[in-house]
Amino acid sequence: MKNMKDKVILITGASSGIGRQLALDLAKQGARLILVARTEANLIQLKNHIESEGGYTPAVWPIDVGNGSHVDELLPRLLEEMPHVDILINNAGFGKFNNFADADMKEIEAMFDVNVIGLMRFTSHVLPSMMEAGRGLIINVASQAGKIATPKSAAYSATKHAVLGFSNSLRLEMKPYGISVMTVNPGPIKTNFFEVADSSGNYTKNVEKMMLTPEKVSGEIISAIKKGKREVNLPGWMNAGAKVYHAAPGLIEKVGGRFFNQK
């Protein structure tokens, strides 16, 4: 997919952060967007902005990705209007950083509902038309936390491990149908994600200098789409650290304690 013009692209979590930046950047390249998020007002604001910049008018759908019955009710209606989706970007997600012993199980369930089950649910609705057409791309936004877990992120890391496992299996299943699966594994990004994840502000303060920008991540994702990459891993040094961790986890945990305990 070297040309985004007229490609139908569905983005979840489109009203802020990476999702919003992707919408802005893909609109400039002539994509036909379907934008999904919980807050309709934010979606309309984004829609108006894209229109003012001369892009195609996006379709906006306020859908709570973590509400299964809501998704199952509204997504088929959406797909009736736009029967073939070229690219699905499963971007919606959230995290909460705390010690597992202090965690609220309802909060953990909500994370899995959005980060994992919601992602799978959107994928299951979109796949049939992709399989029939013999083409398509699923992009699942995971995290470096799915490759190397750190203290105070047990549940969040578990959701991202699940996304990676699901994506790697799905990629093999869909290859005969001409459908590709890409994972995006960023480190910390300067978005409103941390307003929920890091209510103390400590983690944000400790890693602020190494945070990625939404513009950087969006640019790397779009470049990876055009190059047909399997994964996007950002920043490079953090992904290298994850590879070393998997080769020698005990050693890295012993010498990397200060780095791991940033939250």
Residue 253: per-residue pLDDT = 73
Give the pLDDT confidence score for residue 124 in this predicted structure.
98
DSSP code, position 212: B
Please indicate, yes or no, if residue 138 is contained in any of the structural domains: yes
The three-state secondary structure class of 30 is coil
| 262 pLDDT above the threshold of 70 | no
Does 139 reside within a domain? yes
Domain count, the chain: 1
Q: Examine residue 142 and state whether it is found in any structural domain, yes or no.
A: yes
C-alpha pair distances (Å), 154 with each of 97, 132, 170: 8, 39, 24
Instruction: Determine the pLDDT at residue 245.
Output: 77
> For residue 201, what pLDDT is reported?
67
pLDDT tier, 114 (very low <50, low <70, confident <90, very high otherwise):
very high
User: Is 203 a catalytic site residue?
Assistant: no
pLDDT at position 194 over 80: no
At 148-192, the pLDDT tens digits run: 888 899 999 999 999 999 999 999 999 999 999 999 999 888 877
Handedness of CA 40, 41, 43, 48 (dihedral sign): positive
18 — alpha (psi -120 to 50), left (phi > 0) or beta? Answer: alpha
Is 1 within a domain?
no
Quick check: is 211 in a domain? yes
136 sits in which H/E element? strand 136-141
Is it true that the peptide bond before 186 is cis, omega within 30 degrees of 0?
A: no
Task: Give the mean model confidence (pLDDT) for residues 35-63.
Answer: 95
pLDDT in tens, 229-239: 999 999 887 77
Q: Please report, as a single letter, which amino acid is at residue 205.
A: K
CATH number, residue 82: 3.40.50.720
Regarding pTM above 0.85, the answer is: yes
211 secondary structure, DSSP code: P
pLDDT class of 198 with cuts at 50, 70, 90:
low
**Which one from 56, 156, 203, 245 is the annotated catalytic residue?**
156
Are 36 and 16 in contact, with CB atoms under 8 Å apart? no
Rounded average pLDDT over 108-115 = 98
pLDDT of residue 202: 66
Residues 142, 183 contacting (CB under 8 angstroms)? yes
140 within domain boundaries: yes
Q: Domain containing 125: what range?
A: 8-260
Residue 257 has pLDDT above 70, yes or no: no
| 2 found inside a domain | no
Is residue 34 assigned to a domain? yes
- The pLDDT score that the predictor gives to residue 26 is 98
